[in-house]
Structure 1
């Protein structure tokens, strides 16, 4: 799996994450996100996902391709078809 070390993330990078729905904890999807400059800290980057900024943590799994995210998803949740 091709993951991106959060320290190597650069503004403008398109990435993929496994997003756990906060309203329905049993629902997870692969979604695309963009690495952007953190809106409150010019020395950090953030994920821009669902029109919201998310602080990138050291233990976040950020994937460089949809295929890598899908492989990780299938390893964690089983091989299911889903749409982005």
Structure 2
């Protein structure tokens, strides 16, 4: 996915304190604060370097589809 500076994206974010908890959050694509040649996600009032394994989507609907596939616990009950 090609990102543009200032673009709002949606990420599936796992809670670092509870591995089974994940949410879809909006984030902004910003210039990396240290490496000016890279972009970062601005999320929870901090910068997160973008990596290939980040679940980043251009729309909430796209993020929600994957979220439902990954975390549809109802199918096991």
User: TM-score scaled to structure 2, two decimals?
Assistant: 0.89
Shift of 1:79: 7.2
Equivalent in the alignment of 2:52: 58
**1:13-34 deviation digits (Å, cap 9, x = unpaired):** 1000000000111110000000
Larger radius of gyration: 2
Equivalent in the alignment of 2:28: 34
* Structure 2: runs of 5+ lacking an equivalent: none
Q: Which of the pair is proportionally richer in strand?
A: 2
Greater shift, 38-47 or 58-67, is seen at 58-67
Shift of 1:59: 2.3
d(CA) in 2 for partners of 1:45 and 1:10? 9
Q: Which has the higher contact order (CA 8 A, sep 6+)?
A: 1
d(CA) in 1 for partners of 2:65 and 2:73? 9
Going from structure 1 to structure 2, the CA distance change for 1:79 and 1:66 (only over 3 Å counts) comes to farther
Equivalent in the alignment of 2:71: 77
Matched positions, count:
74
Structure 1 runs, 4 residues or longer, greater than 4 Å off: none
